Structure 1
Amino acid sequence: MLVNCTTINDWSWIISKSANFEFRLEEPISTIILDHLAKFTNYTCEFQQAGQFLLFTSFTTSEDVPSTPENVTVSAITPTSFNLSWTEPIEEPTVLFGYNITIQRGDVSSSNHFWSDCFNGTQLFEIYINSSAESLSYNFQNASADFSYDVSAWSRIGNGNSTNINISTTSSASESPQNVIKHFSFTNTTRNINMDLSLSWDMPCNTNGPVTYFVIEASSSYLYNSNITSNNTYWTLIEPQTPHNLTIPNLLPASSYHMALYATNLSNSSIPGKNVSFQFETIENYPNAPEVGKPLISARNITFNWSEPTNNPGNITGYNFNVDSVELGWIQTESCNLENMESRNFKLQDTIITIAVAPGAIYNVAISANTSMGQGNSTNIRVNSSLDQPELGDITYKIDPYAVDEDLYNVGGVIYFTPGCFNGYFDSYILSLRGERDGYFYNKTTVLMDYKVSEYDFSLRPEHIYTVAVTVKNREFNVTKWTNFSSPAGVPTFNEESLSTIEINTTTTEASLILRNEYFNSSYGTIRYLAIIISSENVTAGKTYTWGNESEWPIPGAEADIYYQATPKYWQPFEDSDSVVYVIGTDENCEEQTQFCNAPLVADKTYYVFVRVFNSNFYRNTMPIIIVTDALSKLGLILGIIAGFLAASIAGFIGFILWRRGIINNTNKRIVEDSSQETESEISIRNSDRDPLISFFKSENSNSATEIPKSKFIEYVNYLERNPDVLNKQWQDLEIKSLEAYGELKNHFALLPENKRKNRYVNILPFDHSRVKINIDEDDEICSDYINASYIKGFSKKNQYIATQGPLPHTVRDFWKMIFQENVSMIVMVSRFIENRKEKCYKYFPNNHETMFIGDDLEVRCCTELYFEIYYVRTLQIRKDLKQLTVTHMQFMEWPDFDVPDGTSNLLLFCHQMRSRWANEGGLAVVHCSAGVGRTGTIIATDILTQGLATEKSLDVFNTVLELRKSRKSMVQSEKQYMYIYQLIKSLLEDPITEDDDDSNHLYANITVPSNHSIAIVESPL
C-alpha cells in the first residue's frame, strides 16, 4: 500500500513538504504508523493500493517547544553596559510568543576590586527580560563585573531550550579611596625645620578594575612670595600594598598645599579615579641667608645693601646686621685714637645700612633675616675700607745756636713732629730739609724714617733759610706739612795757609798788613766784621767765642800783658775792595790802657797779631801773625845785612866751584866715616870721581842721568836711604827744573775773579794748557767752564788721569759734571774728609744705599760700600737727565797730609786693586786728595812706574815726577813723598804682589746699614 502525504503549512522549520510511505500488507492491518512527520503541521494523505485510490484523509501534527535562538552574540561591551542580539530558532513547532533573557551577575564579595566593607552578602542578582525583539541593551551600576547570559524562545506551550554566554564588562575609573588620615611630624635641626606628612587610607568601595597603584598629587605655593611659581609633585604607591600608607618628606615651609589621592586600575591606568582631595598650610621655617650686593666703600663709611632671601620660608619680620669683628690692616701708634673699631649689632626693617668705619680696616660682617620661627642663617662678608689721607701733627724744631759740629762748624738741631693715624698701610715718613743761601748751591737732606721715629737730629748749614717738609705716606696717600726757619752762623773759618804768607812790612813803631777777602771763608756764615788783636804772647790762637748780641761789642780781655784791639769796632774792610792795607801803630793819641787803640808799637819787639773774624753768632781768632818791629839802629843793621849777604854769596860761589872740581867733597867724607856700613857697590860709588847718579847706577844705554837700571834699583834706593843729602840734592834739582817749567806755563783762567772761589787753595792752580773744561749749561750761575782739575798723561803718554782738588760745597755739581762728561770709570781718593779737625774735602757722595740730589737733573746713589781695613770700595751710580754712569770709588784712609803712610804694603795692595779694577773698566781715572797734588801726585807716579816694571829696563822717578808737574803744579809735594815713591817701587821689586794678596778674602763689613729707626739718610750739598 502506498500512502502519499503533503503539508498544507509552509514553516521554515519543516524539513519536507511531502512524505511518501509504502507498506506491504500481507495480512489485514488495523493501524498504520506515519512517522518522521513535521511538528505542528497540517497534512493531507492519500492511500493507494495497487495503484488504486483507497482513502483520503487530513490531520495536524501536535505542537512542540521551539529550538534555541540562533546567532546569539554580545557587542558594545562597556564598563557598565553591553548589547545582546540573536535570531529566531530554527524550529518553531508552536506559536512563538517571544524570548526569555536571564542575566546573572557573579558574587562581588569574591572580587579584588570590591572593598568588602562596602557590600553585605553575596550580592548576586538575576534579571528576567521578555522581549519580542531579537536584541537587547542593558546598563549596570558597576564596571568590570562577570555576567552569565541565557536566551530561549517562548511559545504557548512553554520555553524552548536556552543558549548560555558568559560576559565580563571592562574596567572604568576607580571610586575614591576611603577613610584618609593625615599625620604631620617635625624634626628641628640648626636653623632648619624638616616637616613630613604621613598619609593612610582604605580601598575604594569599587576600583572598577584591578588596582595597579595609588597616586598622590600635590601642588604648593609660598604664602609670602607671590613671585615664586607653584610646585607640583607626584607620589605613587604600587599595589598590592597593605596597609595603604605613604610618607611625604620635606614639605616646603610656609606653603599652601592642595593634595588629591586616587587609584588607577589595570585597564584604565591613564584615567585617574575619583580622588579624595584635602588642603593644609605648613608652618614657617628659619629664613635663608640674604643675598648681599656689592658694598659702596669709602674711607669713612661703607654702605651695605641686600635683597630678601629667595624662597622665603616665612614672613620676613626684619634683619640682623652684625659687625662681628674689626681688624686693622696697619700699625696704630699710641697717638692715634681711632673710632668705629668696635663690634656692633643693628636690628633693621630696611635692606640697606650705612655704617661709619675707620680707614684701612677689615670689617667682618654677618647679615641675617628673621621669621616667626627666629633668626636664619647669615651671609658673611669681609670688607676692607678704603685708605684715607694720613694724619700729621704740628712740626716744631729746636736749634742750639752754639752747638756746633767741631769738624764742619755746622749748627745742630732737632725737628719734632707729632704722628697721627696712618689711615692705611704705613710706607714712610719723609723728612725733607732744604736750605738756601744767596751765592751758594742749595743744601738738601732727605730722610726716610719708619713709624717709630718722630724726631730727627740734623746738622744745619750756617745762615741758610730752611724749609722743612714732613711727609707721611701710606700706600695710596701722602700728607705734607711745612715750616720755615733760619739757621744761625757757624764758627768762622779762614785760610790758614794763605794767612801764613801774608805780606808784612815793619818799622820801629808800625807794621803794615795786607789783608785779602779771599783769606776768609764765608761758607759758615757771612763775615761781618774783622778786628786786629795785638798781643805780647801767643795766646787765644784759633780760639772761638760766642757772640749773641751784636749791639754789644766784645771787649778784649787781659789775656796777656799787652792785649788790645787795634781796629775800630764793627770794622768792615772789604765793603769797597777785596783787599786792604792796615797799618798798626798809627794812633799816637790813645791811652796805653785803652782796649781799643791803634797805639804805636815798641821797637825791636815781637808781637803776636790775631785777626779776629766775626759773623752773626761767633767770633774767632786766627793763628798768630808774628811781627818783629825794627830796632832803633836800623841803618847800621841794614848795612851789616847787605855786607854779610855779599860775603856769604861769594863764599858760596867759590865753594860750589871747588866742590864741582872734587877739591871739596863732603859726601865722600861722610862715606869714609860710614864705610863700616857700606856695601861693595857703595864703596865703588865713593871711590868714583863722578856724581853718584851717573858714575855707577847709570845704564850704558840710558838717555837720562836719572834713569836707574831695574836690576840696580833696589841698591840705589838703599843708597838714598843711607845718604839723605844725595836725595835732598836730587829734590832741589827737581824743584829748580820745575820752577823753570812753570815759567813757561800760564794759569790765567784759574785767576779770573769768577773762578777764584772755586779754588780750595790760592797757590794750587791748574795750568791753562792741561786744565779740564766742563760744559756750560743753564744751571751754571756764573757761566764758567772752570774746575780746578788737570789732565795727566800716563805710562802710554796719553791722558789717563785727572788730578783734582777735593770738592768744595759749591763745586760738587762741577765735579760730577766732569765725571759724567769725561766718562770717568774710577775715582781714587787718598785723603779723609776731615783731618786734624779741618775739612780737607767736602763729602760729595751719599752714604751707602742713599741718594744725593744735585740740582734738578743730577743725582748720585751709593749702591754698595765695602770696607777692607784700610780702604773702602764703593759703587756709585750717577744719573743726569736720562743718562746713567756707574763709577767705582776707592778711598785710602791711612795717608796723613804732607806725609806718607806707615810702610809700603798697604798702599801697594791698594794700588794693585786700583789697577786691577781700572783695567777691567777702562776710561779715565780721577785722583784727588785735598789739594790734588801731594798725595795725588805720589799715587799717580807710583802707578806709572809700576806699569813700567813689566816692559822697561830702567826706571826714572825724577823725570816721571817732573812730567807730572808740567801738567799740574806741585805734583808730589814733599821730599818725603818723593822718597816714598822710591821705596814703593823697591818693595814691589823685592816682593811682587800676587793674586793671593787680593783683597777678596779680607772683606770686613758692608757698612752704613739702615737701622730699625731710620731707613736711609741722604744729604746733598747742592
Structure 2
Amino acid sequence: MNGLCSTGNISVLHKTKAELKERLQFDTNSLLLPDTTYTSYVGLINDVGLGHKANVSELTFEEEPQAPPVNVSVDNIRKTSFNVSWSLIGPRPGQVTYTVMLTADTGADSKTYDVTGYKLHKTLIADGLEEYWNYTVKVTARTNVGDAKTSDTTQEYRTLPSAPGAVTEFEAVKAEQRSDNFHRMTIHWKAPSLLERNSVIKEYVLKYNVGNITTNSGVAEELNTKSFPSETGDGFYREEFNVIPESTYQFEVYAVNIDSTVGMKMTINEMAPAGFPVSIEESDTTLQVVKEGSKDQTFISLNLVREFFTEETNGRVQRTALLGCKNSACPENILDYADTQEKVDVLANWQKAAQKGLYRITSADWLTKNKRRRRSSYTEVPYTVGIENCNGVTEGTYCNGPLEPKTEYLFVAVVCTSTGCTVSKKYGPFITEETAPQPVGMIVGIVVGVITILAIAVVLVFILRRRRNKTPYINEEHSVGIENNTDKVSTTDDIHLIVYENVISGKQGELKAAGQNYHTVNVSGCWSEIDYKLCFAPTIDNVNQFWTMIFEEDVNTIVMFAESKAQKKELRYWPSDFNERTNYGHVDLEATYLNTHDAYTHMKMNICNVSKVAWVFHFLFIKLSFTRLTYTSDS
C-alpha cells in the first residue's frame, strides 16, 4: 500500500478467499469526510508481488455545519468601521459561506457582508458605518445543503464620534405682506439630521454682520457671534434682527460637540427686501397729497406733495406716477391696477385709455424735472394734466394729452419700491371748465399804432384776466410778418391778432412795483383801459418786481416785441431752462410748453408761490412789420 495513499489516511481491510468471491461492500461513514474526493484501489498480491490494480475516485456529499459560528467579537473600532472575527467548530462541512450581519440602531441602515471559504478562524473589516452609532453583530454559516447555522448576537458596539454635519432648514424669514415689518428679519435653523449629528452636540454658533458699519462694503469684516445651547427635540433655533431694507447681510451657523469639535459651517447671504412705501397720508390724516390749482377747458393744474413720492423708509423709490381717469370710468379698486411697478409701467397712456379708464398721466422722469427748491415738509410740486397737444404723436408714445371740457376727473398718486406700490386716496372729482359758446381767442385786440412801434423798440403788452362782456369796435384784420415776408398767423395756438387803427397816446399810470417807471399807453377801442397795458420790458434790476406784478395783477398773457434775436437775449426775463423751476423773488416760474412758428413763438409758463398757482401765456415777435389788409365782411 505504500505510495498509494496519503500518510494517516490509509485504511486496510482484510478479507478471506471465500469473501472475495462475493460482492464487497465497505462502510466508510466513520472514515470519510464531507465534500472530499476519495480514490479506491483494488489489486491482487501473490508471492511475486502486487499485480495490476484497478481504482475509482468519488466526491463525498456536503453536509450542514455541525454547529453555528462561535467566538464572534468586535475590535479595532473606528469612526466608520471595525473588525469582526469568529470561529466554526467541527470538520469542514463543505463549501461554506459566512454572512456577517450588523444591525444598527433605529435611523441607520443595517449592513451585511458575505465571506466564502472555510477556515477555523475568520476576520472581516466592516466599513461604511455611521459615525457615533450603535451596532450589534451576528454571523451565519451555510453550505449548499441543509440550513444555515447562526451565531448568537453580540452586545452593542458604537463607532467613534466625529465633527457634526450641517444644520438643516437654515434660512431667512423675510417680510412679505403689506402689514409686515420690513425692518425685521428672522434667521432660523434646526439640528443636523439624525445621521449627521455624529456626536453629542453641545451648542450652535450663529455669526452675522448685522449692525456692522462695513455691511454691503464688500470688505472682509469681523462677524458678531451668538451661542445657542443644544436642546432636545426637533424644534427651530431662531434669532430676529433689525435690518435696513435693500441691505445685504451674511449669516453663518455651525454645531459644536462636547469634544469642542466644530461641525460643518453653513453660510447664506440675504438681502432685506424693500417694503411697500409708507403712506404719509396715514400719519397726517388732514394731508391732501393732490390739490387742485387752476383749470381750463382742457387742463387741470394740480399741486402734488413731494414727500409722498420721495418717502424711502422701506427702500429706494423705483417708480412714481400720477394716475387719472374720468369719474364715470374709474375702476372700483385702483390698487389692483397699480400694486406693483410692473403694472404701473404697462398702464395705458393718454392715447389708449384717457377716454375709457385708468391711465398713466406722468412720464417716467416727471418728478426729476420738478426739482426741489425748499426743505420744508410737504413741499408742493405743481403739475398740469392735459397740457400737451398730442396731434400726430404715435400711438403708444407718452403724451400728457388734453382733457375733455366740463368733465369730472379723479386722480391718485403712486410711489413704488422694488417690492410693490403704495397708492394715495382718490382725489376729486375735479371738473374742467365748459367750452365757451363762441371763443373769442386768447389774444383779442393787441393795439399797436405804427407810430408807437417806431418809437418803442421793445414793448410788452399785458392782457389781464378781468375782461368785460363789451363788444370791441369792428376793425380790419392784420397779419404779422418777418421783414418783408407776410405770413398768416398760425391758428394752432388759437391766436387771433387784430390791430386797431385808432390809437391815442397818453399815460395811464404805473402798474404796481412802486418806484419803477412802467410807461403805459391808453389804447382806445378796447373794453377797458385796465384790460390792456403797454410798457417797456423789465431790466435785470427789476425783473423780480416785474414777475411779482404779473402774479398779483392776475395777468394771463404777455406779448413781447423785439427788433432782433440779440436784443431778445439781452432782454430775457423768463427762465432759460425748459421744465426747470426758477425763482424770481416772491414767485417761482417754470416754462412747460413751447411752440415755434414762422412769425412768433408761443410759450406756456407756470407761476406760483406757496399758496397759489397760475398760468401765463407768452408770445414773442421778432422784427415785426404790419401790413394793411383789405377789409372783408368776415374779418
More strand by share: 1
Same fold (TM over 0.5): no
More helix by share: 1
By relative contact order (CA 8 Å, sep 6+), the higher-ranking structure is: 2
Q: TM-score, normalising length from structure 2? A: 0.35
